[in-house]
Structure formats: C-alpha cells, structure tokens
Structure 1
Amino acid sequence: MPYVDWAIKGPKIAACSCDYGCPCEFNGRPTEGLCEGLECMRIDEGWFGELRLDGLKVAAAYRWPGPVHEGGGIVQGFIDEAASDAQVEALATILGGGEQEPTTVFNIYGATIDQELPPVFAAIGFGCDIEARTGWFGIDGKLNLSLEPIRNPVTGAPHRARIVLPEGFEFREAEVASGTFTAEGDIEMQRRSRYGALWQAAYGPYGIIAP
C-alpha cells in the first residue's frame, strides 16, 4: 500500500542491561532475565512528506520484564523541545508505527509494549563518534547515557567488536561499546559497564534504508 514519503537518518546510540554483545541480538535470553535501557537518535536528515525533520533528536527509556518478544514492556519517549507542533505530530506517527510496514523496527518493538507513558518534551544533548565507539546523550533530571570503548582486562587497551546482522530490522551493522546509564522518573534504572551500541541509522516506510 502507498505510504507518506518519510525518512529519518542519523547516528543512533543505545545501551541496555545485558552483557556486552547482548544475547537478544542472537536470539538468546537477556543476561539478567529482564531487559531495560536507553536510546537516542539525532536526525541529521529527515522528512515527512514536505515537512523537514533535520536536526531534531528523539530518545526513549524502556523496560521489559523478560525477553522482548514475550511482551509486557513499558516505554517513555522523549522528543526535542525544539520540534514544532507539526514536527511532533510527524515524529509521533513515525515512532508510533504509522505510515509504514508492520515489519519495521517501530512496529516490531511497538507490538511488545503494554504501557506507553506520556512523551516528555525537553532539550536533548547528544554527541557521537561511531568510529571511536564513544557517545553520550543527556536530558537534565531524566536520562543520561555515556558510551566508551570496551577495555582489554589485562592491558586496558580499547577492544573493538562489531555486530553484523544482514537481515536485521534495527541495524545491519553496529559498533559495540561499554555503556553506563541512569534514568529517573517513571522508569528508573542505574547501570554501569553494560552492552552499548552505535550505528548510522536510516529508516523509512519499508524499514532500513540501504546505504
């Protein structure tokens, strides 16, 4: 079926409660039974029909009581306070799974969510160097995430690893990092040295947009 022409492209960073590598990426069960974490994307290039979305940022805090595919999740979205009403409506449509195939990342994860908390509009700080495996984002009083390279336990040297998923729905290739993050408010968490990932994201109505 025809959809509104839209796309969001830019760096995306995330971290969760799993060990490095995250068993979920290999059809395993979460390291600690539950799954919780944070993510953020900076939209360097984006549009929804004729409306531009360049420069906006979106983030989320989430938790599932068990493996993601078993459902029962709770999520709260965070949208750049600089977004206009029209841009907010467009982002809500995209992130909510509208105007796209049911096999996109937003619809796949959305199908596992039982409770969606009201979105928060705030200033979102963001920095990312995918090649260096470093990144951060912050929302004052709410969320903070920092990523750094995994370190060799003997020498302390940066350790490099990638996850390659040729048929992935969230990413096809991502750099793996060490994530430390905290969240306050409706979904609280505090984690140190857990699985983190960075990648160049590009999504549209039919899923990942190939480079």
Structure 2
Amino acid sequence: MSQADIFVILRGLPWTVALTLGAFLIGSIVAVPLLAARESQFLPLRLFAMSLIQVVRGIPPLLWLFIIFFGLGMSYFPISPFVAALTGLGLIAAANMAEIYRGALKSIHHGQWEAANALDLGRLSTVAFIIAPQALRVALPSAASYLIGLMKETAVASTIGVAELAFQGNRLSQLTFQGLEVFAVVGLLYVVLSLPVAWLSRSADAYLRSKVAA
C-alpha cells in the first residue's frame, strides 16, 4: 500500500469518531429517562420501557439503519446517511446504557438509601452525592466496554453510505484489489482507537475508587 492509500483510509477516521462519540453521548443521555421509566412504579410505563428496550436490543443494528434510512428516510422525510446512522446507533446505545445503569443501581445496597434517609437527606441529594458516585464506578467498566463495541458497530454505517473507516477501506480495496492489506490497516486503526478508551476507563475507575473509598 502506498502512503496515498493510507490517507484515503484516514479520511474515514473523523466520521468513525464522530459517529461513535455522538451515538454514545445520545445514548448516555436518553438512557436516564428510559431507566426512570423502566424502574417506574407506574406499571404501564414500566412495561412500555421494558418492551422498548427489548425490541431495540433484539433487532440487529444493520436492520435499524435500514429502517431509518431506507424506510423512514425515503418514505416520509429525507435524512442524510450520517444522521440516520447517528439516530439508529444512538437509539441502540440508549437501550444498552439504560441496562448498564440499571445493573449499576441494583448493585448498590439498599442500606445506602436507608442511611441517607436516616440522615434526613432529600432524594435528589441522596442520588447526587451517595448513590450516583458509587453507581458510576460500577457502571464505568461496562460503559467503556460498550463504547469500544459501539465503535466497531459503526462499521455498519458504511452500508448506507457513511464514509467512515469501513466504507473507505471497502472502496479502496475495490479500486486497488489489495483487500488483505487495506482491511488489515482498517482493523489496526480500530485497535488504535480502542486503546485510549481502555486507558481512560482504567484511570477514571482508579480515581472514582479513591474518591468513594475516601
């Protein structure tokens, strides 16, 4: 492979990073009200949230992108490939992050709530200063692992025309007939992108452990 070929592949790097971080941010935010609905005492709302999470997680990401881009986008309102991919992956991330948050909350002993109540702390203060820091530490490794997995899932966006790493690699391999070399470089880039996430996760986990322990 020539240096020019590598630059062609690297053109997809910003799209992959933007799609990964954008979908993860959307998912992390939307997961909060989704979790609240999932844990609601109002049965219809809880059943709706549970069903939504199961449906979203049960359908393959590729099919979600096809539904949004080819189904909704071409039948009802125009939508760009990037926005369609961001919407689909963000929706999937929300369902998965809601389950990660729920698992983290379930790991907090009920005695923490009782102790906060005994100290006459309000629910908001209890969540913000006692429950959330502990739950965040528990959720962090799973969230980081999901972020790495989400980055790899962005490759499906190439099927609807998002010019990310997999798209650029596929187009270059068709032009140069060097599929092995091209996709080896693409795979290496995915590995390189995952390393900072893993390092940041370990650093943040160590920091949170020290704070919680203190």
TM-score computed with the length of structure 1 as normaliser: 0.22
Based on CA coordinates, which of the two structures has the bigger radius of gyration?
2
TM-score computed with the length of structure 2 as normaliser: 0.22
Q: Which structure exhibits the higher relative contact order, with contacts defined as CA atoms closer than 8 Å and separated by 6 or more residues?
A: 2
Which structure features the higher share of strand residues? 1
